[in-house]
Copies of this chain bind each other. A is one copy, B any other.
Amino acid sequence: MDREDLWRALGLDLEAHGALLEALGPLYQEVFLSQENRPEGMGYFDSVVADIHGARVAELLQIRESGRPVVGTFCVFVPKEVIWALGGACVGLCAGVEVATEKVEELLPRNLCPLIKAFFGFKLARLCPYMEVCDFLVGETTCDGKKKAYEIFEAYKPLYVMQVPQRKDEASFTLWLEEIRRFVNHLEEVLGKALSPQKLREAIELINRKRKALARLNRLRFNDPPPISGRDALLIHQLAFFDDPERFSSRLEALCDELEERVKAGEGVCPPGTPRIILSGCPMAIPNWKVTHLVETSGAVVVGEESCVGSRYVGELVAVSETSRKGLLRALAERYFKIDCAIFTPNPERRRHLASMVAQSGAQGVIHYALKFCDPYTVESYLVERESPVPVLRLETDYSPEDREQLRTRIEAFLEMLS
């Protein structure tokens, strides 16, 4: 299908959408294509971005037209295995750039997380084909901002909301398990079909394979020099939310094979001994590459993301030792309940996890990345800094390019201090 026809069929604002895609090209050239020593395997991921609103959207439309549901999500807490098991497809949504600000601020307060304002903007301005191709969305009560914004958003798109508890004790786990059961029941009712334990096992294996490949990528980055840049690794994590899981996994596995060869040959994207940084904090949605790009053009390399677009998504695998519906749902609930998101109180697991990433990667510093007005992460950053084994630079920013030079100055001073 011709791209314009596809976007027209989905009701996009063709003119504004064209301008948006046009702006992506030079940015991608600057941030990604200008890099030296890139692994060859990045070619596939470059081609995905080059057609970011095209090929995959067309596939999803086909899935939908064949009567299978396409479901959009905003958060790593949604147990996507269930959606795949029921024959559906799960996809992330556009939320990485500020659009249609004026329209958004008729609905939402100005002082709100840029990610939330972004997904409203993409919907109101009809710029996200992933949003439009979805049958419905699944939200969650992770943060106050999203929780309350969904109540407004449901006037624009069918939306199902899962409650995520706020503490990690038995009563909270019971609630969470019940939420997963409720979600499955809801899907079964909407789709008019029952979840087959066998299909669920297959879906768990499908997603486990993706997480395993991402974990392997992340371990390879612990080498000095890292065989891949932080920018490329971030991009791969971002695309993990959009691409077909099977194709994505197989391309990523091939890339990891290549990276292993590079490691053996002592090849990397920068000289050995280049200062190593872990990014920690809020998710970075496409095309939010600002901070990683600044770090890597200031003489350092990012060797890990302690983030939902990063290690918090990769996390642990779902156990597939179970065969019953009940057992598999419990295994899913257990896996998702381990996510060390800042919405939990207390959340010492996140600091331990970060410390272990620092130790494994040999990072000399942590940059804590918080989206403006994000209370869970901006408040928790104080504890992250206090308990970090290495120095921490705390940044708070939004999607605007305006603070770029100011951020560069702070990042350079931080790197200077580390050396």
Contacts and interface: CB of A to CB of B under 8 A. Distances in A.
A186 interface: no
B167 A379 contact: no
Contacts of A375: 109, 112, 143-145, 148, 373, 375
A140 to B, nearest CB: 10
B167 A166 contact: no
B380 A151 contact: yes
Interface in A149-167: 149-152, 161, 163, 165-167
Interface in A342-372: 342-343, 345-347, 370, 372
A171 B179 contact: yes
A372 B111 contact: yes
A396 interface: yes
A174 B174 CA distance: 10
A163 to B, nearest CB: 5
A298 interface: no
A172 interface: yes
Contacts of A145: 144, 375, 379
On chain A, which size bracket covers the interface? 35 or more
Contacts of A205: none
A378 interface: yes
B143 A345 contact: no
Interface in A92-139: 107-109, 111-112
Nearest to A394: B109
A228 B208 CA distance: 65
Contact residues of A: prevailing secondary structure = helix
B109 A161 contact: no
A54 to B, nearest CB: 34
A91 to B, nearest CB: 23
A152 B384 CA distance: 11
A375 B112 CA distance: 7
Contact of A380 (B148, B171, B179, B345): B148
A382 interface: yes
B141 A378 contact: no
Interface of A: 107-109, 111-112, 141, 143-145, 147-152, 161, 163, 165-167, 171-172, 174-175, 178-179, 182, 342-343, 345-347, 370, 372-373, 375-376, 378-383, 396
